[in-house]
Amino acid sequence: MKVLHIAALFLFSAVFAVSVVQGKPAIDDDDDDKYDEYVDDGYDYDGDDADYNSDVDSGGGDDNDHAIKDVPNFVTRGSTFTVDKGTTIRLPCYVDRLPKNFVLMWNRINPRSGQKLMVAMDKMLMGNDPRISVEVGASGSDHGSSLIISLAKDEDAGQYICEMGTGGGQAIKHTVHIRAPPTIVKFPENGIVLAEKGDEVSLSCVGEGKPEPVITWTRVGKHLPDGSTTVVASELVYPNVNRHHAGIYMCAANNGYGQEAKEKIEVVVEYEPEVSVEEMFIHAKDGDTVELVCVVHARPKADVRWLKDGVDITANAAAPVQQHNRHTLILESLEESEMGVYTCAAKNNHGEGLGVIEISGKAAPAVFQSKPSGYEPNKYLIEWNAVSHTPIFKFELLYRRHSEPKEVWRRLEVEPKKQDSMTWAGKHSLSGLGGAAQYEARVRTENAEGWNNLSLPFQFATFGAAPLQTGLTSGASMFSSTLTLVLVLLVAVTNGLKLIL
């Protein structure tokens, strides 16, 4: 009879709690916690929290008179559950045994007030949400209760308490986080950035979801402008864009939920034509077939014309060939009158660009073979070679010390030595040089067509000093010498090009 009396009082308390819960507004779960991984937080109410340690209010009297003897023990520990939105939440609450008429109650903690709001008592639900159900097992290995919430929503996140319907205050607490799939808000919204060379470009992708997703950038078909394959950031800023920044950028948001979200932003950069040539100097003779090739990059597309010695020959020459950005002018069976300076001129509404090529029977620029650093304090052996269809008569070597005035050059005539049918070599041992000193040298060549242009300086040094790095050395001197040639040729044709363009 005493046990029945206790049960009646307990049932009265439970019914009173239900009426209080049903009179409260819906829970506004504003869970600001960051989302943890699946980690057992070991929550166990062992007397630290007065809310969970107090006995069930039975209306007064001696606590020992109302306590149920041989109270079961929890075999489930409080845990943190991270659940994908739209899936099912299943919270376990198992005990080592479940005596007859023993009740397990489910409560939810209001995140704002911290108060408990009853969700279910045994199999009886305290609300009308069809997504919520309770499974109770009294036999087999699963003694206890499971709170089940299907089609998980954001508002289901929070803390849930399972407690025994006794006066012992025993309870476990589960924490639920809801993981929402990632989405992206991109800027600009239309996914197109139109810029001009030199502009600052900003690309933005803001990720949304629970937990907050990580944004990763790539570029379709190529690396990012800095050479990296990926960058983790919500925004990319390029302060001084050029044509190499153009392309389709892809931002991806990933928070571990299902498929990552992706968006594309295309960057279009407009700029004046940029022209490069495959060969700036072509050594040829009568009857040769010569290809003049220039590569033009421009946006919008450029108008490309060919000029010879400053005169437009596009209409009169054999039809130029264009393949993508590569423009080719083919001269078959070269005649002496076709030798000269050719210009590939490209123009659009942003400006113009020029590429200059010389066809000549003069010797090709000299290529230095010496190592820039010398092995002796006062001597240096300098060597080079040059290509020519006709015999090379002589070389002229010019050299100077960097500490001397720029106009002071020592000049030496060097006899060429034939190496094969078209290659001629020159070398000279320079003596009386300063110790640990820096020098530069230039070479020009004479054949039946006359003297070619001087090369850019070749940098070298005697033992104990390092050659200057501002100049180009060894095999790269061929490029340097032709660069000097281009500068000379550009001056020669400037007036004619201004009139035509």
Same domain for 341 and 422? no
| CATH code of residue 319 | 2.60.40.10
Among residues 162, 179, 196, the one where a domain terminates is: 179
Determine, yes or no, domain membership for 361: no
Same domain for 371 and 254? no
Strands 247-254 and 214-219: antiparallel
Same domain for 12 and 140? yes
Same domain for 227 and 289? no
* CB-based contacts of 35, cutoff 8 Å, min separation 6: 82, 177, 179, 210, 211
> Residue 141's CB: how many other CB atoms inside 10 A?
7
3-class DSSP state of 237: strand
Among residues 127, 150, 179, the one where a domain terminates is: 179
Determine, yes or no, domain membership for 495: no
Determine, yes or no, domain membership for 473: yes
Determine, yes or no, domain membership for 207: yes
Instruction: Tell me the sheet residues that pair with 274.
Output: 297
Same domain for 131 and 23? yes
Q: How far apart are CA 48 and CA 53, in angstroms?
A: 8
Same domain for 161 and 12? yes
Same domain for 25 and 105? yes
Structure tokens at 355: 């590429």
Q: Which long-range contacts (CB under 8 A, 24 or more apart) does 96-102 make?
A: 96/72, 96/143, 97/72, 97/143, 98/72, 98/137, 98/138, 98/143, 98/144, 99/68, 99/70, 99/72, 100/138, 101/7, 102/68, 102/72, 102/164, 102/165
Determine, yes or no, domain membership for 362: no
Predicted TM-score (pTM) of the model is 0.60
- Residue 408 structural domain: 367-489
pLDDT tens, N- to C-terminus, the chain (501 residues): 333 333 333 333 333 333 333 333 333 333 333 333 333 333 333 333 333 333 333 334 444 444 456 778 899 999 999 998 899 999 999 998 888 878 899 999 998 888 999 999 988 999 889 999 999 887 666 789 999 999 999 899 999 999 987 656 789 999 999 988 899 999 999 999 999 999 999 999 999 988 899 999 999 999 999 999 999 999 999 999 999 999 999 999 999 887 899 999 999 999 999 999 999 889 999 899 999 999 999 999 999 999 999 999 988 766 678 888 999 999 989 998 999 999 999 999 999 999 999 999 999 999 999 999 999 999 999 999 999 999 999 999 999 999 999 889 999 999 999 999 999 999 999 999 999 999 999 999 999 999 998 988 899 999 999 999 854 433 433 333 344 344 334 434 444 444 344
Among residues 158, 179, 200, the one where a domain terminates is: 179
Determine, yes or no, domain membership for 68: yes
Same domain for 381 and 475? yes
Q: Cα 436 from chain centroid?
A: 47
Q: Are 68 and 102 in contact (CB under 8 A)?
A: yes
User: What's the structural domain count of the chain?
Assistant: 4
DSSP-assigned states of every residue in 45-90: -SSS-HHHHSPP--SSS-HHHHPPSS---B---B-EEEEETTS-EE
Determine, yes or no, domain membership for 484: yes
Same domain for 316 and 429? no
Determine, yes or no, domain membership for 261: yes
